[in-house]
Amino acid sequence: MGIQRQLGRAANRLLNPYGYSLQKTGSDFDSRVENRAALDRMFRELADAAEHWLGSQTLFEHRPFPAREGVAEFYEAYIASPYRQPYGGSRFNNLVWLYLIARSCRPTVIVDSGTYQGASAWALSQGAPAGVPLYSFDIDLSQLKGKVDATYVESDWAGHDFAEDLSRGLCYFDDHVDQARRLIEAQEKGFPLAIFDDDFPITSFAQMAHDGRALPKVEMVLDEQLRDEATLRWISGGKPYSWDVDAAYLDRARQTIAATDRLPNTSLVTGIHQTPYRVVKLAV
């Protein structure tokens, strides 16, 4: 057994009683196949999933493009990017969907709420038509790994007034904020399309509840059974939490949703496991 492994096991024996452990970290595709045929197969399977979903969905007008070439180009750009982080932020499976959707719907303006390290703004800019205004909002921009041709705003997006044409506007939310609130805000501003990260049902939301600040999720807005509950309770980090269910608030958010779908799960194609995004057509 190597010295590093021995030290790791010794450290874990000390940390485990306190609920912590050391784990080896790695970024997306640190371990990856390099055979050209295998890579081509991955690109083809991702492109097939994209073309099937984009061609069959009714949330926005799909403008076809060569998906396989696009996926391959995005992969190479991602490998060379500073956004392959071992933890935190977005990962390849979802970032490639931001690229594909931006390329398909050709938005007139893009909002990226939750800049963090800048990966989502980068992916959206890769797929958006040249010159399309892109705004990236975060209350703390100190974690940026790189910038693209975007307007970075260190504040919540809700206070910003947009002068652009919003008829094909696209919002992306990965900001750990109440998603019902984001639905209502996006509809009130006139955006027709929104993408949500970290959208979980009541069976698995606890890990991304952020002490209740990130509730309700879109799945909860859609969950009719949840309206029968007075309080939602969970445990996180050994601590108990609760969230009072406001049926009227859930109903108000539900009225903003004209149609919705969850993106395909491509975990087995890439070996990267991530909860697929929720896409919402807003009733505007």
Residue 83 lies in a domain: yes
Give the Å distances, CA to CA, from 15 to 9, 43, 156: 10, 41, 37
Write the DSSP symbol of residue 157.
Answer: G
Confidence check: pLDDT of 22 > 90: no
Give the pLDDT of residue 173.
Answer: 98
Give the pLDDT of residue 228.
Answer: 92
> Using CA atoms, how far apart are residues 282 and 284, in angstroms rounded to an integer?
6
Write the DSSP symbol of residue 161.
Answer: P
Q: Which percentage of the chain shows pLDDT scores above 70? A: 92
Give the pLDDT of residue 233.
Answer: 95
| Three-class DSSP category at 248 | helix
Name the residue with higher pLDDT: 193 or 23. Answer: 193
Confidence check: pLDDT of 144 > 90: yes
Encoded amino acid at 115, one letter: T
Give the pLDDT of residue 86.
Answer: 76
CA atoms within 13 A on the CB side of 205: 29
pTM: 0.92
Residue 21 lies in a domain: no
Q: Which class for 58: exposed (0-12), middle (13-18), buried (19 or more C-beta within 10 A)? A: exposed
pLDDT in tens, 179-217: 999 999 999 999 999 999 999 999 999 989 999 999 999
Beta bridge partners of 261: 279
| Three-class DSSP category at 260 | strand
Confidence check: pLDDT of 18 > 80: no
**Average pLDDT rounded to a whole number, residues 135-153:** 96
Name the residue with higher pLDDT: 21 or 89. Answer: 89
> Using CA atoms, how far apart are residues 139 and 156, in angstroms rounded to an integer?
6
Residue 187 lies in a domain: yes
Residue 19 lies in a domain: no
Residue 1 lies in a domain: no
Give the pLDDT of residue 30.
Answer: 87
Give the pLDDT of residue 284.
Answer: 86
Name the residue with higher pLDDT: 145 or 1. Answer: 145
Give the pLDDT of residue 24.
Answer: 63
Residue 124 lies in a domain: yes
> Which CATH number characterizes residue 206's domain?
3.40.50.150
**Average pLDDT rounded to a whole number, residues 64-78:** 97
Q: At what angle do helices 92-105 and 67-79 cross, to 10 degrees?
A: 130
Domain that holds residue 115: 33-282
pLDDT in tens, 245-272: 999 999 999 999 999 999 999 999 999 9
Give the pLDDT of residue 90.
Answer: 84
Give the pLDDT of residue 26.
Answer: 73
Structural domain total, the chain: 1
Closest C-alpha to 31, from 84, 82, 67? 84
Lowest mean pLDDT among 6-10, 51-55, 60-64, 206-210: 6-10
Confidence check: pLDDT of 145 > 60: yes
Residue 105 lies in a domain: yes
> Using CA atoms, how far apart are residues 284 and 45, in angstroms rounded to an integer?
34
Confidence check: pLDDT of 162 > 80: yes
Residue 4 lies in a domain: no
| Reported confidence tier of residue 126, pLDDT bands at 50, 70, 90 | very high
